[in-house]
Amino acid sequence: MTHLIYPTTNFKAIEQTTIERGEGCYVWDNKGNKYLEGLAGLWCTALGYGNQELIQVATEQMSKLTFSHMFGGRTHQVAIDLADKLAEMIPMEDAVLSFGNSGSDANDTHIKLLRYYHEAIGKPQCRKIIARERSYHGVTVAAASLTGLPVTQNHFDLPVDALGILRTDHPHYYRGKLGEESETEFVDRIVGNLESMIVREGPDTIAAFIAEPITGASGVIVPPTDYYPKVQAVLNKYDIMFWADEVITGFGRTGNDFGCTTMGIDSPHMMTFAKQLSSAYMPISASAIRREMYDAMIDQSANAGAFGHGYTYSGHPVACAVALKTLEIYTRDSIFEKAAVTGEYLQKRLAEFVDHPLVGEVRGKGLLGALELVANKETGQAFVGGAVGGYAQKMAQDSGLLIRAVAGSCLGFCPPLIITPEQIDEMMAKTTIALDKTLEHCKNQGLLG
C-alpha cells in the first residue's frame, strides 16, 4: 500500500509508470522503456532533460546560498536580477513581480493583490473576477475556483461565490458555435454576453478578467483572431483589468515570446508565469503587475506594518538562479526563434490528421497543439466521458510517446522547445499508430456515432 496521495490521479489507477531518468527530449521508465516526451512533462520542460548548465548553476547557488527568505526587508541579489530580467522581457508596462512556487499560488497571489489594491484606492467593492468556462488556472482553493473544469471543482465545495468568481463563455468556435454561426458572429455573441454580464453585475464591482491566451488543460483552445481585441475593448470601456495567465503559453511556447504576443493581447495589467520560467528544473512562479498598481499599495502596507502576503520559498535563491540561467539560455541560443520554426512544422504535421476518421478538429499555435477525437466526424459528436482519449493516450505510450488526453477526448501536444523536426516526425508516426489502434478499438466497442 502506497503512502503517497497522487495529484490529479484516479486513486484506483496509481503507479502505472515509474519514470527513472531523462535526457534531452526522452525519458526512460524503470523497465528500460524509452519514451519521446510529447508534453514536456506537464507543459513545462522547455529545455528538455539533463541540461548541464542548469544543473551546474543550481549546484553553484546551493554551495553559495542554499536558502534565504525575503520577509521584512531581507533580500538577495539573484531574486532582484531575475525580477529585473523578467520586467525587461514581458509585454507589460513597467512590471513589478512577486515570486512563488507554482502557477496555482501565483494566481492566488493575484487574487489577493487585486483585493489589496482596490482597498488601497478606496474601492473595496471592486473584487469580482470574470473567468471563463473551460479554463484552467490551478488547483489551490482560490485558483481552482477560477478554473472552469469540472474535475477540479467536483466534490471540493469550493468558495466560488464567496470569492466573487463570475463565469463567461469559452471562446472555442468548434464546440461553442450555434447552428451555422460564423466565427465573427460567434465572437460577437460571446463578447456581447460578456458585456451584458458586466452591466448586470455592475462594472464598479468587477476587478479583472482572467484568461489563458491559448488554453492548455481544457483542450488547447485557440480563440478566433478578433476575440481578444473585442474583449479588451469591452474591458477598457468599463475600466476592468485584463489578467493574462501565461503559465503554459509563456516563454516561446506559441511561436512568440509570450502568448499575449501571439494572440494580439495588448499590454495586460497582470500576468502569471511558472512552468517554462525555469524549464521545470526548480519550482518557481511569478505574479506580475503594473508599477502603478504597486505604487498605490505602498502607503497601505506601511500603515498596516507589512504587506501580509508571501511564501517561505518566495524568491528561493536556487530557484531564482536556475530561472535566470534558463532565461539567459533562451536568449543566447535563440530558443524562441528556433521553436517558432519547429512550431510551424509541428502545426503542418498535425494538420495532416484532419482527414483521420477519429479527428474532428486540429488546432494549435507554435509547439502547442491538440487533436479533438470525435465519435462522428460529420456531426462533430463528442465521445461520452474521457475513456476514448485515455485509450489513445495509452496506445501512444505503448508506442513510446508520452502525450496527454485533456478535455475529454482531446490529445494534447507540447514537446520541449528543443525538439527537432526529425523528433516531430517520430512523434507523428507514433501518434498515427495510436490513432489507428484507437479507431479499431472504437469500432470493436461500437463507440462510433
pLDDT one-digit tens code per residue, 311-351 = 999 999 999 999 999 999 999 999 999 999 999 999 999 99
Domain boundaries of the chain, sorted by first residue: 54-332, 334-444
DSSP H helical ranges for 24-149: 40-43, 52-64, 77-89, 103-120, 141-146
Q: What is the pTM of this model?
A: 0.96
pLDDT of residue 381: 96
Residue 211 identity (one-letter amino acid)? A
Residues comprising the chain, all counted: 449
pLDDT at residue 93 above 90?
no
pLDDT (tens digit per residue) in 376-397: 999 999 999 899 999 999 999 9
pLDDT given at position 402? 98
What pLDDT shows up at residue 264?
97
Residue 8 has pLDDT above 90, yes or no: no
Span 54-332: which CATH code?
Answer: 3.40.640.10
CB atoms within 10 A of CB 10: 9
* Mean pLDDT to the nearest integer, 8-31: 94
Q: Same fold for the domain at 54-332 and the one at 334-444?
A: no
pLDDT the model gives residue 2: 86
Number of H helices, E strands in the chain: 15, 16
What is the average pLDDT score of the chain?
97
Q: List the CATH code of the domain at 334-444.
A: 3.90.1150.10
pLDDT at 1 over 80: no
- pLDDT 10s digits, 125-140: 999 999 999 999 999 9
When pLDDT is cut at 50, 70 and 90, the band that residue 406 belongs to is: very high
Instruction: Please report the pLDDT score of residue 419 as a whole number.
Output: 98
CA distance 121 to 47: 42
pLDDT-above-90 percentage for the chain: 96
Whose CA is closest to 275, among 45, 121, 109? 45
Which whole number is the average pLDDT over 188-195? 98
Contact criterion met (CB below 8 Å) for 264 and 229: yes
Q: What is the reported pLDDT for 279? A: 98
Q: What is the CA radius of gyration of the chain?
A: 22
Q: Which three cell numbers stand for residue 243?
A: 489578467
C-alpha cell at 63: 554551495
Q: Which are the contacts of 87, defined by CB distance < 8 A and separation ≥ 6? A: 94, 95, 96, 97, 288
Report the percentage of the chain scoring pLDDT > 70: 100
